[in-house]
Homo-oligomer: A and B are copies of this chain.
Amino acid sequence: MSEYKNGINKANGLLPSVFQDVHVMIFIGFGFLMTFLKRYGFSSVGINLLLAAFGLQWGLLLQNVWHVDHGKIKVSIESMINADFSTATVLISFGAVLGKTSPVQLLIMTLLEITVFCINEHIVVGLLNVSDVGASMTIHAFGAYFGLAVARMLYRPGLKNGHDNEGSVYHSDLFAMIGTVYLWMFWPSFNSAIAEPGLPQLTAVINTYFSLASCALAAYATSSLVEHRGKLDMVHIQNATLAGGVAVGTCANMSIGPFGAMLIGLVAGIISTLGFKFLSPILAASLGIQDTCGVHNLHGMPGILGGLAGIVAVALGKLENSETTATLQAAGLASTLGFALVGGSITGLIMKIPIWSQPPDQNCYDDSVFWEVPEEEEEKEESLTHGDHSKNKTDA
């Protein structure tokens, strides 16, 4: 039914290494970024793997439905990169509902979200010729607002006052930093993966590199300014340092120059940190949007910023050899937000049907509902009586 295209030589040998970088971002980056919760690490990495493995097959199928040739789908490294991209939307939305959904619910979300993503992307990129090389709009803003709409539908009043397990411990924050650092390092590959080989691709790499560097400094500075006694907050560092990668996505292959890229990164780092500090509590309290990972701050606002920056950059003529216009770019952003909010709301309603093994409120953010978890009780005791094996054995 399908066959393979030789895509290796197509892009002077670069594609396979870029593919691996994107793959690492999807499976290690997103997976470990969410391990910050003290009792939800198995689900963060494990369900991330499940959703991505499922989603990439579905995405590969859907994305190539438009290009069927004699009943066969062509598979190449490029289509594998695009499949990984389609799963990224789901993993972003996963962050918004982390800890409050069952694997079955999430598989349903994967199926529906990738479908809506493929329709929107076909309209925006395929029909409107919108330029969005690093997918600030079609992946990041889309995934964030889709997830936030789902989270709104799945609002749990019982968690209004927080939950014992909705927090980190020292080592869970370190595991999350593995995700952060990998996403930070490989984002230049993400934003340049489907750029035209040669100078446009190199431009995408370098713009992203500059945006991330300035964004990281902005996130540290802002975090220190808004926390008491100038301390840094791990949540900001884990997330807001990455907002520059999101926000520069649409413009990555445009000739915005290092200063343009750094400006975008700077603004993204500031608004993302401020969002975590001030906006997220308001969204939860007033709008009933319980956004576990703060995807609105990392992917939502920076994604819109990226879309707006793209409109400005196109209007200023920073993109050559393209049919897009500032109006089309704006239409692309509007389409993306529309599909995300409507698609996410409908998906949330379907996920709300009480037949998908939803965890009760008190078992939220807790791996032990869906995983066999090693008994820490015994471990504590074992290590407290370490060296006293006779006693330990009598107890056991």
Q: Interface residues, chain A, CB within 8 Å of chain B?
A: 1-9, 12-14, 16-18, 20-21, 23-24, 27-28, 31-32, 35, 38-39, 41-42, 45-46, 49-50, 53-54, 56-57, 75-77, 80, 103, 164, 167-171, 173-175, 177-178, 181-182, 184-186, 189, 197-199, 201-203, 205-206, 209-210, 212-214, 216-217, 220, 227, 230-234, 237, 241, 257-259, 357, 362, 370-374, 376-377, 379-380, 382-384, 386-387, 389, 392-393, 396
Contacts and interface: CB of A to CB of B under 8 A. Distances in A.
Contact of A213 (B38, B45, B57, B201): B57
Contact of A241 (B49, B212, B373): B49
Given A173-B42, A189-B20, A376-B169, A12 B9 contact: yes
Given A7-B202, A20-B189, A227 B50 contact: no
A2 B24 CA distance: 31
B35 A174 contact: yes
A177 B27 CA distance: 11
A52 to B, nearest CB: 9
A104 to B, nearest CB: 10
Query: Chain A interface mostly helix, strand, loop or mixed?
Result: helix
30 contacts: A1-B258, A2-B258, A5-B202, A6-B198, A8-B197, A8-B202, A9-B12, A13-B14, A20-B21, A27-B184, A31-B181, A38-B379, A39-B170, A42-B234, A49-B241, A50-B217, A50-B220, A53-B217, A75-B258, A80-B206, A80-B209, A169-B376, A169-B379, A171-B175, A231-B370, A231-B371, A232-B370, A234-B371, A377-B383, A377-B386
A164 B234 contact: no
Contact of A199 (B1, B4, B39): B4
Contacts of A57: 210, 213-214
B56 A237 contact: no
Nearest to A201: B8
A45 B370 contact: no
Contact of A174 (B41, B177, B232): B41
Contacts of A387: 377
A20 B23 contact: no
A228 to B, nearest CB: 9
